[in-house]
A = this chain, B = another copy of it.
Amino acid sequence: MKVLILGAGGMVGRKLVKQILQTGFNSINPSDIYLFDLNFPNQHHTGVNLIKGDLGDPKQIKKLTTYRFDIIFHLAAIVSGEAEENFDKGWKVNLFSMWHLLENLKIEHFNSSSKYIPRIIFTSSIAVFGAPYPDKIDDEFLCAPQTSYGAQKASAELLLSDFSRKGFVNGISLRLPTICVRPGSANKAASSFFSSIIREPLNNKTAYLPVDTKVKHWHASPRAAANFLLHATTINTSILDNRRSLNLPGVSCTVEEQIEALRKIAGQKVVDLIISKPDPFIKQMVSGWPSDFEPERALKVGFKAETNFEQIISTYISDDLEKA
């Protein structure tokens, strides 16, 4: 079995590789794991293959597909804030790389005498949704993205779904909650502050809060994200009835509740390191984001996440803070 992870240099990618190596993942040999990304900061796994490259380049995608991977995790993306600022780059990487990937996998599918149908696990996002929302978003709610990132993820889902329906690949799109608490430094995602208001204070640093504390959002930990991805490789996709985009479980809470959970775990002095600093650009983007879900289908097929924000903070403390 050969596994490819696109965007493996990112935070979720690193967590996933670690999880694969720790759990054994069907006794996979590290030499059968291929990581693809522009760069691999803090990537210290031995035995796996690192391929530096650019998903914006169709030729590199074509070359990759000739390896005939059994499982492809597609985590690569231009994140929300950057896709909003750099419109063309966002569409190029977030949508067209999916097209080139699928087109070339289709060529491999038809090139083979044996049946080649790779499993593709694609990290989509709850940014595919757009306000106004019901109290809880159910599995039949429309995609009406209000950001370029969300529109790109929603269209990539449609491509993956149609190539899968035709039997060229076997894909599944995971609409990840906002991943929180992210270790490391802030990225260009507009959602980055949801992590930094927990992470920075726990590391004795000041954090800036760009939105109102009433903002309610949908979260899962990096560990949960890696588990989602691994779990998705085990699902019998035929039971999805060609609805291959899943809203995943998570924790719905307000920034106020996030801060309260931090207070319980780390005390008032830590909380005092959070400083309000409104940012109209972030505020505007976040105002269109969903806050709560009823992810019945994902729960039914066995996806699991944390059930409250204190658990999410504890996961950060045990997985990342103590090792820092």
Which A residues contact B (CB, under 8 angstroms)? 87-88, 91, 99, 103, 130, 132, 134, 139-146, 148, 151-152, 154-155, 158-159, 161-162, 165-166, 241-243
Complex CA gap A158/B130 in Å reads: 12
Is B141 in contact with A142, judged by CB distance below 8 angstroms?
yes
Q: Which residues of B contact A166 (CB under 8 A)?
A: 87, 148
Is the Cβ of A158 less than 8 Å from the Cβ of B154?
yes
Count copies of this chain in the complex. Answer: 2
User: Cα distance A306–B130 when bound, in Å?
Assistant: 32
Residue contact B144 to A243, C-beta cutoff 8 Å? yes
Closest Cβ–Cβ distance, residue A96 to chain B (whole Å): 8
A155 CA to B155 CA in the complex, in Å?
5
User: Which of A87, A88, A166 is the most central at the interface, judged by chain B CB atoms within 10 Å of its CB?
Assistant: A87
A sample of 19 inter-chain contacts (CB < 8 A) reads: A87-B166, A91-B99, A130-B243, A132-B241, A134-B140, A140-B141, A141-B142, A143-B143, A144-B243, A145-B158, A146-B242, A148-B166, A151-B158, A151-B159, A151-B161, A154-B158, A155-B158, A155-B159, A158-B158
**Residues of the B chain whose Cβ atoms lie less than 8 Å from the Cβ of A165:** 146
Please report the C-alpha to C-alpha distance between residue A88 and residue B107 in the assembled complex, in whole angstroms: 11
In the assembly, what is the distance between CA of A134 and CA of B143, in Å?
17
- Contact check, A162 vs B142: say whether CB atoms are below 8 A apart: no
- In the complex, what residues of B have CB within 8 A of residue A103's CB? 88
Q: Which 10 pairs across A and B sit closest by C-beta, in order of nearness?
A: A151-B162, A155-B155, A155-B158, A151-B158, A144-B243, A140-B142, A142-B142, A148-B162, A154-B158, A146-B242
Chain B residues closer than 8 Å to A140, beta-carbon distance: 134, 141-142
